[in-house]
Amino acid sequence: MEKFTQHTGVGVPLRRSNVDTDQIIPAVYLKRVTRTGFEDALFAAWRGDPSFVLNQDAYTNGSVLVAGPDFGTGSSREHAVWALKDYGFRAVLSPRFADIFRGNSGKQGLLAAQIAQEDAELLWKVLEANPGTEVTVDLVAKQAHCADVTVPFQVDDYTRWRLMEGLDDIGLTMQHESEITAFEAERAAWRPRTLPAKHLPPVEVVAARPVAAPRHADDALA
Amino acid sequence: MGRTLAEKVWDAHIVRRGTDGAPDLLYIDLHLVHEVTSPQAFEGLRLAGRPVRRPDLTIATEDHNTPTLDIDLPIADRTSRTQIETLRRNAQEFGIRLHSLGDADQGIVHQVGPQLGLTMPGLTVVCGDSHTSTHGAFGALAFGIGTSEVEHVLATQTLPLAPFKTMAITVDGTLPKGTTSKDIILAIIAKIGTGGGQGYVLEYRGEAIRALSMEARMTICNMSIEAGARAGMIAPDETTFAYLQGRPHAPEGADWDAAVQYWRTLRTDDDAVFDAEVVLEASDLEPFVTWGTNPGQGLPLSASVPDPADMADENERVAAERALEYMGLTPGTPLRDIAVDTVFIGSCTNGRIEDLRSVAKLLRGRTRAENVRVLVVPSSARVRLQAEAEGLDKIFLDFGAEWRNAGCSMCLGMNPDQLQPGERAASTSNRNFEGRQGKGGRTHLVSPLVAAATAIRGTLSSVADLGPDVVAPDGSPLTDADRGLLSA
Ligand code: SF4
C-alpha cells in the first residue's frame, strides 16, 4: 500500500448526508470478479444526472471528497471503498462516518477524515464558489487546507500510523512472520493438510437431466 | 478459573497475543474457498505480488453458482460462468486444490470439508461464507469471513481477531418423534431472536444434543448465524470420532491416537463461566415452521399465522406486517392450511445423506401431492452417489420428485433453481429472506421430515399428519433403524 502523509487534489463538494454504500456503489456491480475498475460504478445512480457534481468539468478530476454526515452507512460491502479509490479519491472528509466504512477505508489506504459540521459548510462554500480549488490533506498535522481555510480533522492514531507507514492488514501481519513460522513449526502432526489430496476412489458423476417430473425412473428413460 | 470449549480452541491458536486492545493474531488450520467470495481476494494477492502461504491448508469447491442439471454442458448464465472460470484459473495459478463441477468430491463447501475428514475437532476453520459455522459441530471454531479477510488468510494463514463472548445453549430431554435437530435450532432462533447471538460463540450442550448424529449436529451449528452468532460449537465425543475415523484425511495410526487424546480435552470445564446461558427442553418441541421473512419468525406447526396487532413491540409489529404482506398470509390461518407450490430438500443445512434417508423413508410407496414440485438436491456429489447406492434416488423418482446433481441449488437465487414471483416453498434451507430463493419467492423453513410430509399432502404438514401407517407404508415392521431415522 502507498504511504500517505500528505495529498493535494481537487476538492469535490458533495452536499448530501446519509450517503449509504448502495448509493456509493449499487448492488448490481457486486457480481464482478475484479478488484479494480469500479470507477464507472461510483455513485452510478447519480452519474446520469448532468448537474451531479462529478459531471461538472471542474470537479471531474477530484480526489478529495467533502461529504455530509453519515457517509458510508448500510451494507458492509468493501466495493464502496474500491469504487472511491478507483475513481481517484484519496481522502473523504465528513462530519460522521459509518463504522464499517471507516474501518474498510483505513485498511485500504483511503483516508476517512472526520471534520466538524461547520467546517464542512466552510469547505463546501469555498469549493462551490471556486470550482476546481485544491484541498491539501495533511495527515501529519491532521489538517486540511483549502484556499485560505484550514480545518482540523480527526482520525484514530492507529489508522493514521498505518496510512503513514503504508501498511495494509496483510503487511502488518507479515511484520510478525517469524512468529507465524515458529507457530507452524509446533503444529501437531494430526492437524489436516489438503495436499497431497486424498480421496475415496474416483467415480463418474452422471449429469442429471431436466425431466417433466416423471412418475417412475423407468418413464424417464423411455 | 476453567475455560469454555471455544476459549480452549482460541487459546491453542494464538500466534501473537494482542496488547492494548489490539486483536489477537490467530492461526487458521483450514481455509475453505468457493467461487463467489474469492475472486477479489486472489486478485488482491496478484496486485500485491503475494503468494498463497499455505496451499496445503486450503481447499476450493464450486457450489453457489453451479447448475444442478446438465452439469456437463457449458454454464448458461454469464456471471455464474465467469465466477466459476475465475476460480478455476485462480486455483491453477496459486496451486489450490479445487473440486470442480463433475468431480466426485464437488459439493457445497460445508459438506466437502466434513466428508473428506478435513473438518476435525479443535481446528480453526474459515470460509468466505457465513454458514461456515456448520463445522463447529465437530468442536472446531469455525466462522465466516469477508473477502479482504479471505485475502488475509490466503497470504498469511492467520487472522487478527477480537475475542468473542460465549453463550451456553443447553437442550435437555429427548426429541419427540417427528421432530429433528432443525426444529431445535428453529426454536432456539425464535426464542433468542435473529440478533440474540450477536457477538457470541454459541455452545450447544445437554442431553438432546449429545444424542444427535453428526449430520444433525451440523444442521444446528449451520444456523447459528441465523441467531446472529459468529459461530456455534458442540464438544466432540464418541459420535464425532466415529464419524471421522477412516475418512480420507482423518489422522491415522499414532496420529489418530494423539488426536483423540487431545480431542477428549476439548470440553468446557465444569467451573468455566459463560457470558450468557439459555435452556430449552427438547421434549416440549414440535415441528417448527417459519411464517415470515426472517428465521426468527417461526412457530410450531400446530399454531396459526400470528396477528401483528397482538404484538406489543412496535418494531416487531411493523416487521410482521411487512412479512405477512410479502408472504401473502392472513393472520389466524392455521399454518397447516398453507399450501405450497414447491418443496426443496437440500442445502448445507439439510442436504446430507441422513436427511435424504429420512425423507426417502417417508416418501417410499407414497405419491406426490398434485401441483407440487419436489426438488431433492444432495449437498455433494458423494452424497448423491451414496444415495444412489442405497436406492434412494428410485424412491424420489417414483414419488415424482426431481433428483438433481449437487450444489447450493434453490437455497439462494444465484443459479437456475429459483422460485417464480409469488411461488411458495417449504424449504429445508436456512434463510427465508425476501427474494432469497428467487425474486418474489416465499419461503417457509422446515425440517426434512416436514418437507417430506408437505410434499405428500401439499400443505405444511408433520409426520403425524400422515396417519398411523407413517413408519411402514409398505406394511413392514418398525425397526430400530427406522426409529433412529425418524427421531435423529
Ligand atoms: S447451501 Fe445455501 S447457505 Fe449453504 S453455502 Fe450454499 S448458499 Fe450458502
Tell me how far apart the terminal alpha carbons of chain A are, to the nearest angstrom: 63
SS3 B120: coil
Amino acid at A61: N
Residue A76 distance to chain B (closest CA, Å): 9
For B368, name the nearest residue in chain A, comparing CA atoms only: A215
SS3 B143: strand
Residue B436 distance to chain A (closest CA, Å): 15
* Chain A residues with CB-CB distance to B370 below 8 A: none
| pLDDT exceeds cutoff 70 at A212 | no
Measured in whole angstroms, the distance separating CA B95 from the mean position of its chain's CA atoms is: 28
Distance A134 CA to ligand 1 centre (A): 48
Exposed, middle or buried, A206 (CB in 10 Å: 0-12/13-18/19+)?
A: middle
User: In 3D, which of A92, A129, A99, A134 has the Cα closest to residue A114?
Assistant: A92
**DSSP 8-state class, residue A147:** T
Q: From the candidates B33, B135, B373, B397, which should be mutated to test the interface with A, based on the most A CB atoms within 10 A? A: B397
Complex-level ipTM:
0.92
Amino acid at B220: I
Mean pLDDT score, B164-172: 97
Q: From the candidates B10, B13, B14, B16, which should be mutated to test the interface with A, based on the most A CB atoms within 10 A? A: B16
Q: Do A205 and B29 touch (CB under 8 A)?
A: no
**DSSP 8-state class, residue B344:** E
d(CA A19, CA A41): 15
Amino acid at B183: D
d(CA B160, CA B145): 12
User: In 3D, which of B125, B370, B364, B389 has the Cα closest to residue B232?
Assistant: B125
Q: Do B394 and A208 touch (CB under 8 A)?
A: no
HSE toward the beta carbon, residue A66, CA cutoff 13 A: 31
* Chain B residues with CB-CB distance to A184 below 8 A: 27, 157
pLDDT, residue A105, reads 93
| pLDDT exceeds cutoff 80 at A65 | yes
Mean pLDDT score, B346-356: 97
* Chain B residues with CB-CB distance to A34 below 8 A: 39-40, 43
| pLDDT exceeds cutoff 50 at A218 | no
SS3 B348: helix
For the CA of B110, the nearest atom of ligand 1: 5
For the CA of B109, the nearest atom of ligand 1: 5
For A174, name the nearest residue in chain B, comparing CA atoms only: B156
d(CA B258, CA B121): 13
d(CA B291, CA B300): 10
Distance B347 CA to ligand 1 centre (A): 6
| pLDDT exceeds cutoff 60 at B474 | no
Distance B431 CA to ligand 1 centre (A): 9
Per-residue pLDDT reduced to its tens digit, B20-76: 777 899 999 999 999 998 999 999 999 999 999 999 999 999 999 999 999 999 999
Distance B220 CA to ligand 1 centre (A): 14
The owner of cell 445453549 is B169
Residue B195 distance to chain A (closest CA, Å): 16
For B403, name the nearest residue in chain A, comparing CA atoms only: A208
Percent of chain B with pLDDT over 90: 88
User: For residues A153-178, b (16+ Cβ closer than 10 Å) or e, as one string?
Assistant: bebeeebbebbeeebbbbbbbbebee
Measured in whole angstroms, the distance separating CA B154 from the mean position of its chain's CA atoms is: 24
Which among B132, B409, B411 is the best mutation to test ligand 1's pocket, defined by most ligand atoms within 8 Å of the CB?
B411
| pLDDT exceeds cutoff 90 at B187 | yes
d(CA A122, CA B134): 52
- Find the residues whose C-beta lies inside 6 A of ligand 1: B 63-64, 108, 110, 129, 131, 347-348, 408, 411-412, 429-430
The mean pLDDT of chain B is 94
* Chain B residues with CB-CB distance to A100 below 8 A: none
For chain B, counts of helices (H) and of strands (E):
17, 19
| pLDDT exceeds cutoff 80 at B372 | yes
User: In 3D, which of B466, B427, B418 has the Cα closest to residue B448?
Assistant: B427
User: Which of residues A157 and B155 earns the better pLDDT score?
Assistant: B155
Answer for the pair B11, B266: CB distance below 8 angstroms, yes or no: no
Mean pLDDT score, B321-348: 98
* Chain A residues with CB-CB distance to B15 below 8 A: 176, 179-180, 183
The owner of cell 454504500 is A21
Distance A31 CA to ligand 1 centre (A): 17
d(CA B42, CA B474): 54
Q: Among A163-172, B269-278, B393-402, whose mean pLDDT is lowest?
A: A163-172
Cis amide prior to A196 (ω within 30 degrees)? yes
* Chain A residues with CB-CB distance to B251 below 8 A: 189-190, 192
Q: Do A191 and B29 touch (CB under 8 A)?
A: yes
CB nearest to B68's CB, from A36, A170, A208: A208
pLDDT, residue B476, reads 44
**DSSP 8-state class, residue B337:** G
Answer for the pair B400, B367: CB distance below 8 angstroms, yes or no: yes
For B117, name the nearest residue in chain A, comparing CA atoms only: A192
Residue A41 distance to chain B (closest CA, Å): 16
- Look up the pTM and report it: 0.88
Strand partners, B144: B127
User: Which of residues B247 and A169 earns the better pLDDT score?
Assistant: B247
Distance B348 CA to ligand 1 centre (A): 6
Answer for the pair A25, A41: CB distance below 8 angstroms, yes or no: yes
Per-residue pLDDT reduced to its tens digit, B217-241: 999 999 999 999 989 999 999 999 9
Distance A35 CA to ligand 1 centre (A): 24
